[in-house]
């Protein structure tokens, strides 16, 4: 997968896995990652799917309706990529924290839905419920931050709460942060995520 890797000064810190939104690329969230933790490794990835030239992490059939078969394949591809990258760049595979926005948050959420021990934690900015009717792997005390908008047309408030419930049901410790706006990532939300991250890692 296309990506950039920046080695952080502090090898005890997590490696931040950055996953962009639809139409983004591997450079988009690097500034966000450095804001969250300026001393951590950054592994920022470009989604392999193109929707009319816009990179994504998996196919969708329509807005908000996911191609579940592709989601599963792409989630596996991303997991394998992280595994390989940890060898190539010599970071601790067991200490990876995902930071995703929108489509990137959705595949990060699906990593947690599909695999045990895949992430040490996650910051999910404006995620949806990636799949329903499946049993989640155990994720005891895995810290997850969800940033959501009360007026998000892509992800109704009830869906953010549903995601929180599903993750908590599998053992995760979820903090759900609300802003009053839509699907956008606000500066206040970033600062809340940063404070949360500092308290956990």
Positions marked active-site: 102, 152, 183
Euclidean distance between CA atoms 60 and 76, whole angstroms: 17
Q: Where are the alpha helices (DSSP H) in 66-200?
A: 68-88, 103-114, 157-169, 187-200
Quote the least distance from Cβ 89 to ligand MLT, whole Å. Answer: 27
Quote the least distance from Cβ 154 to ligand MLT, whole Å. Answer: 5
Q: Which run of H or E residues covers position 36?
A: helix 30-36
Question: Is the CB of 31 or the CB of 64 nearer to ligand MLT?
Answer: 64
Question: Is the CB of 59 or the CB of 93 nearer to ligand MLT?
Answer: 59
Question: Is the CB of 124 or the CB of 176 nearer to ligand MLT?
Answer: 124
CA angle 106, 110, 62 (to 5 degrees): 50
Question: Is the CB of 4 or the CB of 154 nearer to ligand MLT?
Answer: 154
CB half-sphere exposure, 20, CA atoms < 13 A: 23
Contact 124, 147 (CB under 8 A): yes
Q: How would DSSP label each residue in 127-164?
A: -----SS-PPPP-TT-EEEEEEETT-SSS-HHHHHHHH
Quote the least distance from Cβ 63 to ligand MLT, whole Å. Answer: 6
The residue with its CB nearest to ligand MLT is 103
User: Which residues sit at the interface with ligand MLT, rule CB under 6 A?
Assistant: 21-22, 60, 63-64, 102-103, 106, 128, 154
Contact 30, 18 (CB under 8 A): yes
Quote the least distance from Cβ 153 to ligand MLT, whole Å. Answer: 10
């Amino acid at each position: 997968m296309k990506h950039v890797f920046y080695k952080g000064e502090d090898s005890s810190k997590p490696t931040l896995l950055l996953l962009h939104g639809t139409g983004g690329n591997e450079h988009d969230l690097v500034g966000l990652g450095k804001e969250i933790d300026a001393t951590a490794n950054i592994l920022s990835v470009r989604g392999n799917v193109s929707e009319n030239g816009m990179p994504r992490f998996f196919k969708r059939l329509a807005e908000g309706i996911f191609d579940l078969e592709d989601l599963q394949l792409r989630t596996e591809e991303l997991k394998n990529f992280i595994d390989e990258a940890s060898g190539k760049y010599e970071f601790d595979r067991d200490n990876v924290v995902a930071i995703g926005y929108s489509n990137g948050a959705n595949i990060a959420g699906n990593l947690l839905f599909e695999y045990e021990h895949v992430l040490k934690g996650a910051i999910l900015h404006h995620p949806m419920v990636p799949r329903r009717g499946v049993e989640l792997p155990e994720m005891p005390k895995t810290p997850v931050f969800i940033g959501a908008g009360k007026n998000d047309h892509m992800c109704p408030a009830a869906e953010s709460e549903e995601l929180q419930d599903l993750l908590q049901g599998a053992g995760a410790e979820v903090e759900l942060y609300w802003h009053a706006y839509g699907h956008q990532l606000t500066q206040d939300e970033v600062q809340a995520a940063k404070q949360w991250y500092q308290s956990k890692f």
